[in-house]
Structure 1
Amino acid sequence: MYERFCHVTDPIHQTINPVEWYVYIILCSDNSLYTGVTTDMERRFRQHAEGKGAKYFRGRQPVRVVYLEGAHSRSSAASREIRIKAMDRTEKLVLISGRTAIPLSLNA
């Protein structure tokens, strides 16, 4: 069962490569943005499109993946997902565009 979640690179189990997790944002048919985590983006998008994924997609369809961030453990992906879900739409759009948001100051 242990090998199911990790790829063991040596017989003594000294070097282990954990499964890579991704954080993603999907643009939906109602123009909303859905954030989630997965180990397989193609499979997860297909599940959402078939109505077998999150309940969020009942009544709306996924249009396309607009943001994908890899190199996460399960724990770091879940933490990042929470931080992204706490963002407002404008902050998410800045993240998706790759731009850095610069706060405006009236004293500048």
Structure 2
Amino acid sequence: MAKYFFYVLLCADGTFYGGYSTDVTARVATHNAGKGAKYTKTRRPVRLIYSAGFDNEHDALSAEWHFKHQSRAAKEAFLAAHQVHW
């Protein structure tokens, strides 16, 4: 069973936020409480639209890094390829 997760949030302003966690449900709640990342504090509420599990931390962090360093169009293409509709 996966222990590490890469996730994507849809922020209230329509932007995407990619993150990493070992407990996605708790992490989304933390974001919505305004105690998550600086980026999401002013863009609440956030909604989980995608998550993927990994067996090791390196792969989950790599997925997060690659997502964050893409253009908006590339992020939308990634989500569409994974059948995510926001």
TM-score normalised to structure 1 length: 0.69
Partner Cα separation in structure 1 for residue 29 and residue 65 of structure 2:
23
For the residue of structure 1 that corresponds to 2:20, the secondary structure is strand
What does residue 47 of structure 1 align with? 30
Is 2:6–2:53's contact at 8 Å kept on the other side of the alignment?
yes
- Give 1 or 2: higher strand fraction: 1
- Aligned to 1:65, which of 48, 71, 75? 48
TM-score normalized with structure 2 length = 0.84
Matched, 1:38 2:46: no
For structure 2, the residue ranges without an aligned partner over 5 or more in a row are none
C-alpha deviation, 1:71, in angstroms: 2.1
Higher relative contact order at CA 8 Å, sep ≥6: structure 1 or structure 2? Answer: 2
List 4+ stretches of structure 1 deviating above 4 A: none
1:60 is paired with a residue of what secondary structure? coil
Greater C-alpha radius of gyration: 1
What is the identity, as a one-letter code, of the residue corresponding to 1:93? E
* Structure number with higher helix proportion: 2
Size of the alignment, in residue pairs? 82
